[in-house]
Amino acid sequence: MSLLVEMKRRKVLRATFVYGVVSWLVLQINDVVGPILDLPAWVAKLVFFLLLGGLPVMLVLAWQFDLTSLGIYREKPWQQNGGDAASGEDKRVLSRAVKCIACLWVVFLGIGLSVGAAAVIHLHEARMIEHQFDLMAQEIAHEIGHRLKSDKEALHTLGVLFMGNRKPGLDTFRQLSEKILAEHDEIKAIEWVPLVTAEERAAFVAKMKKIYPGFAIKAFDTNGAEIVPEQREIYFPVAYTVPKVGNEEAIGFDLLSNPDRAAALNDAIVSGTVLQTKAIKLVQSGATGFLMFNPMFRDDEVPVSRAARVESLRGFTLGVIDARTLVASAVAACPGAAEFVGEIVVHEGEAVSNNPILRIDTSNGSDLSASTRTLAIADGGLGLSALIELRPTRALIVKQFSFEHYVVGGVGVLLSIVCAMAMNAISASRPMPKKTSDLGESANEGVEENKSDPVAGRGNRPGVVDLIEERDWRTSSWRTS
C-alpha cells in the first residue's frame, strides 16, 4: 500500500490542511491585533516559530492516533489482505521502553528546533545590529562631507570683499568672518593670506606692523617649531586672522615654508578650486586639523591656464578646521550616533591605518566589541577623503539585542516537554475498536450487565448510547438495532 493512501486512511493530510488553515488564521490575527496592542516585533516571530515547531509534532500525533467520539485511539496498521491486524493485549499498550524512547525523541527534537530557532533569531539580530552601525557610520561620514562642503561655500562668500580688486581692511574682513564662525563650529579661524613678492616684502611688513605690532614673516617646520624663513621670490604670509585670540602664532606665518601647506597651496593654484590639506598639526592649538584654501584671482575670474592663474593670483582666504570638533559636530547631528558608546576613529584616505588622524573614545574604559566594526568614507569634494571607523562596546552590543531568542528557546523547550508528557498519556490509550464486532460485543456486554444488574446497567448507559442507537429504554431490557 502506498504511503499516500496510508496517510489518507490515517487522516494525516486532512490534519495537515486543518493545521495550516488554523496557523494562517493565527498569523493573520496576530498581524491585525499586534499594532492595536503595540506588541513588539518579536511576538510575531515567536508565534511563527511555535507554529513551525508544532508541525512535526502534529504529523506524528496524526499518524499514530485518531480522535473520535469514543475518545483517542491508536491507529492500527493495514493488513495486506485488506483487514486490520489482530492484536492481543500485549500489542495494545506500548512497552515502557518504546514509550520512553518516543518521549525522549519528541523532547530532543523540540529542544533542537527551539535552539535552532533561537540561533536563527540571534544571527538575524546580529546582522540587523551590524547593519544599524553601518548606517550610523554612513550618516556620520555623510554629515562630515556635508559640513566640509558647507565650509567651502562659506569661504566663497568672502570673495565679495575682494571684488573689483579691492583690498579689504581688517575690520571689514572681521565682520564677515565672525558671522561665518558663528555658523560653523568646526572652523576655528579664518585668515587672509596674500601673495607677497620679494620686492613688496619690506613695505608689506611695515604696513602690517601698524595693525599687529611686532609683525614679521616667520616660518615653521612640520613639527611646529619655528625656523628662519628662507629668502624666496614670493611669500604667502598670514595677514589677517579672525579671531586673533588663540591664533597669535599664525600671524605672519609663511605657508610656503611648510611642505604640507605648500603642497595644498600649489594644488589649489593649479586647480583653481578650493582644496584642503592633509591632516596637520595646527599652529594655533597643536591639535589635529585641516586648512582649506580658497584661491582669489584678479578681475574676479579664474583664468583658464595654469600660467595665467599663477600670474593673476592675489592670495587665499583660508579656513582653519579642527578635526575633533568636525567629527563631534557630525556625530551630534546624527540622531542615532548621539547615543553611541565606543570608539570613533578617523583614518586618512580610504584604508585603515596604524596612525589614524583622530580617535574619539566614549567607552569610558569598557571593552570594545571584537566582531562588530563598521567603516564608511567621508568625502567633502575637496581632493581628500577620510575613512570613518566605529567600534562599539560589548555592553552596547548586548543592549541592542532583544530577549526574543531566549523566549523562543525557553517556550520551545517547555512545549517539547509538554508534548512528551501528552504523548506518554495518549500512548496508554486503547486501540481503535472494530466497527462491527467490537461494537457488537460492547453492546451485548451492556445488555447482559443490564439484565443481571439494572442499576449497574443504568450506570453504563451513557457508554452504550455512544456506541449504538437507542430505540427504547427500560430498566428491565434493552432493544437495540
d(CA 291, CA 275): 8
Where is the domain boundary, 301, 327, 353? Answer: 327
196 and 248 housed in the same domain: yes
d(CA 302, CA 314): 11
At position 276, the amino acid (one-letter code) is Q
Domain-located, residue 116: no
Q: Count of domains in the chain?
A: 4
d(CA 72, CA 74): 7
Buried b (16+ CB within 10 A) or exposed e, 315-346: bbbbbbbbbbbbbbbbbebbeebeebebbbbb
User: Which three three-digit cell numbers place residue 299?
Assistant: 578681475
179 and 225 housed in the same domain: yes
Query: What pLDDT, on the 0 to 100 scale, is given for residue 92?
Result: 45
211 and 187 housed in the same domain: yes
300 and 421 housed in the same domain: no
258 and 154 housed in the same domain: yes
Residue whose C-alpha cell reads 593649479 in the numeric block: 270
Q: Is there a contact between 323 and 287 (Cβ–Cβ < 8 Å)? A: yes
d(CA 304, CA 436): 108
Query: What pLDDT, on the 0 to 100 scale, is given for residue 236?
Result: 92
Tell which residue, 467, 190, 166, has the closest CA to residue 318.
190
For residue 284, the enclosing domain spans 144-327
pTM for the whole structure: 0.64
Question: ∠ at Cα 237 (235, 242), nearest 5°?
Answer: 160
Residues whose CB falls within 8 Å of the CB of residue 102, separated by 6 or more in sequence, listed in order? 94, 423, 427
Domain-located, residue 478: yes
Domain-located, residue 117: no
Residue 287: other Cβ atoms inside 10 A: 14
169 and 311 housed in the same domain: yes
Q: Is there a contact between 218 and 229 (Cβ–Cβ < 8 Å)? A: yes
Q: What is the CATH number of the domain that holds 157?
A: 3.30.450.350
355 and 462 housed in the same domain: no
Q: Is there a contact between 449 and 459 (Cβ–Cβ < 8 Å)? A: no
Beta bridge partners of 348: 386
Query: What pLDDT, on the 0 to 100 scale, is given for residue 264?
Result: 84
Where is the domain boundary, 294, 327, 360? Answer: 327
302 and 154 housed in the same domain: yes
Please compute, for residue 128, the number of CA atoms within 13 A of its CA located in the half-sphere on the CB side. Answer: 10
226 and 318 housed in the same domain: yes
Length of the chain as a residue count: 481
Where is the domain boundary, 307, 327, 347? Answer: 327
Domain-located, residue 128: no
Domain-located, residue 109: no
Query: 375 phi and psi, to 5 degrees?
Result: -130, 150
Per-residue DSSP letters for 266-277? HHHHHH-S-EE-
pLDDT tens, residue order, the chain (481 aa): 566 777 777 777 888 888 889 989 988 998 888 787 777 777 777 788 778 777 777 777 777 776 665 555 666 555 544 444 444 444 444 456 566 666 777 777 777 777 777 777 778 888 888 888 888 888 888 888 889 889 988 888 888 888 888 888 899 999 999 999 999 999 999 999 999 999 999 999 999 999 888 899 998 877 777 888 888 889 999 999 999 888 888 899 998 888 888 888 888 888 888 888 888 888 777 788 888 999 888 887 777 877 888 888 889 999 999 988 988 888 888 887 878 888 888 888 888 888 888 888 888 888 888 777 777 887 766 667 888 888 888 888 877 777 767 777 777 777 777 777 776 666 655 555 554 444 455 445 544 544 444 444 444 444 444 434 444 444 444 444 3
228 and 313 housed in the same domain: yes
d(CA 464, CA 410): 45
Residue whose C-alpha cell reads 571689514 in the numeric block: 172
Domain-located, residue 115: no
Domain-located, residue 113: no
Q: Is there a contact between 392 and 136 (Cβ–Cβ < 8 Å)? A: no
278 and 164 housed in the same domain: yes
d(CA 454, CA 253): 123
Q: Is there a contact between 406 and 371 (Cβ–Cβ < 8 Å)? A: no
- Sign of the alpha-carbon torsion through 353, 358, 362, 364: positive
Q: Which residues of 300-357 form beta strands (DSSP E)? A: 313-322, 342-348
Domain-located, residue 316: yes
47 and 183 housed in the same domain: no
d(CA 318, CA 321): 10
Q: Is there a contact between 176 and 277 (Cβ–Cβ < 8 Å)? A: no
Query: What pLDDT, on the 0 to 100 scale, is given for residue 208?
Result: 92
User: Which three three-digit cell numbers place residue 463?
Assistant: 457508554
Omega within 30 of 0 (cis) for the link into 243: yes
